[in-house]
Structure 1
Amino acid sequence: MAQNLTGFRAIFSSAPVYNLAQRMVGAEKARRLLVRDYFPQYADYRMLDIGCGTAEILRHLPEGISYYGFDASDAYIKQAKRTFGKRGTFKAELVRQASLQELEPFDIVMAFGLLHHLDDAEARTLFTLAAQALKPGGRLITIDPVYAPGQSALARWIISKDRGERVRTPEAYSALAAGLFTNIDAQVRSDLLNIPYSHMILLCTP
């Protein structure tokens, strides 16, 4: 995993600090818009959240969904369990093929802010696992910071300070999914946070 945990970035290993920082920049707004614009409108779907963090996305999801969240951080998963209790299944581990074989297929697989922490080989593995986890007609949604033409200098500078060391261009993100997904809808958005920032959203269907 390609991420910088030195200096001020180390404090974000704390789940409460991570959540506070997310709220300050407007992550709740981002989650609300993502659910509104890209998630199913029915309330009983199955969702796999890869790199779920503290699972704050659940604040914006229907009560009736079946939610499975995986994250490498034990601290984040403990926080998710404390906050959301029985609303989902939470695992402090990386998603592997063996993990997926124990689960029924999903309508939605999400990776929120994960790809820019992964090198190309790790990212391709994520896309492979996501494709295997989806039901026919299911969708993978990824959201990451992006270096995009026309973005402000301030947005580019803020993104450059991220813990993830693999922030890519739109073309590079799309290339990761090529060959594994038939339909790849790549969207750059700059309206999700309360600060100048650019996100790459990939909507992928097999």
Structure 2
Amino acid sequence: MPQKTDGLHAVLSYPAVYDLLQNLLGARRSRTRLIRDHIRPRPGDHILDIGCGTGELFSQLPAGLRYIGFDLSEAYIEAARKRFGDRARFECMDVADYEVGHDQQQKADLVLAVGILHHLDDAHARALMRTAFAALKPGGRFISLDGAYVDGQSAIARALISRDRGQSIRTPAAYHAIAAAEFGTVDGQVRTDLLFVPYTHYIMECVR
């Protein structure tokens, strides 16, 4: 899993530092707009959140959802469990190890991967797509958000994105190709209005 782990990137492994930096950059506003415009959860939805971090996204979701968050960081998962208790389920595991049952009642309405694909090489990204597709109910949606390189991008945005911990930042076309290998319906949108700093995100909405 390509990822920078030195210097400031190592400090971000601490949950409190990670959350502080994210929120200073405008992550709370970003999550609000992502939920409102793209995730659009309905009461009772079953949500799987791949790479849930410390659970900040869950903290902004409406009540009445069935939520399971996955992350590889034991520190992040422990922080989420302490904060949210039994309001949600948080698992320290690779989502590839999550057992997807055949019972449609256990399938998800939404699978989220917020800021995850740009940490994965193509092989691992395709594997995540397969897992997401298998976990969804028919008509269920996969939503992803990642930094992206686009034509006409500001120098500041490109510089900030190039310093991300993830080392597999792609163009919208490259993200789309990975999703389209598994999903028949893939819609994508470039957004530059999510953070307080110049930054280019690409959001995909894929329907099973």
Q: If the TM-score is normalised by the length of the shorter chain, which range does it land in?
A: over 0.9
Please give the alpha-carbon distance, in whole angstroms, between the structure 2 residues aligned to 1:131 and 1:120.
Answer: 16
Provide the TM-score with structure 2 as the length reference.
0.96
Provide the residue aligned with 1:118 in structure 2. 120
Counterpart CA distance in 2 for 1:97 and 1:53 is 17
- TM-superposed deviation, 1:40: 3.1
Structure 2 counterpart of 1:83, which letter?
R
Aligned amino acid, residue 189 of structure 1: R
Equivalent residue number for residue 148 of structure 1 = 150
- 1:79-158 equivalence runs, <5 A: 79-96=79-96, 98-101=98-101, 104-158=106-160
The two structures, once aligned, show a CA RMSD in angstroms of 1.3
Kindly report which structure 2 residues correspond to 1:153-172, keeping only aligned pairs within 5 A, or say none.
153-172=155-174
Amino acid at match of 1:122: H
Q: Per-residue deviation at 1:102?
A: 8.8
Alignment TM-score, normalising by the size of structure 1: 0.96
State the alpha-carbon separation in 2 of the partners of residues 91 and 147 from structure 1: 32
Q: What one-letter code is carried by the residue in structure 2 that aligns with 1:88?
A: A
State how far apart, in whole Å, the 2-side matches of 1:98 and 1:16 are: 27
Does the 8 Å contact 1:97/1:129 carry over to 2?
Answer: no
Deviation at 1:98, TM superposition (A): 4.6
Offset from partner CA, 1:79-125 (integer Å, 9 cap, x none)? 11111111211001101255333981000000010001000000000
Structure 2 unaligned blocks of 5 or more: none
Contact 1:52 1:71 in 2 (8 A): yes
Report the secondary structure of 1:100's partner residue: coil
Aligned to 1:178: 180
Aligned equivalents of 2:114, 2:48: Cα separation in 1: 11
Task: Name the structure 1 match of 2:34.
Answer: 34
Aligned equivalents of 1:170, 1:78: Cα separation in 2: 34
Report how many aligned residue pairs link the two structures.
Answer: 206
**2:161·2:199 contact (CA, 8 Å) conserved in 1?**
yes
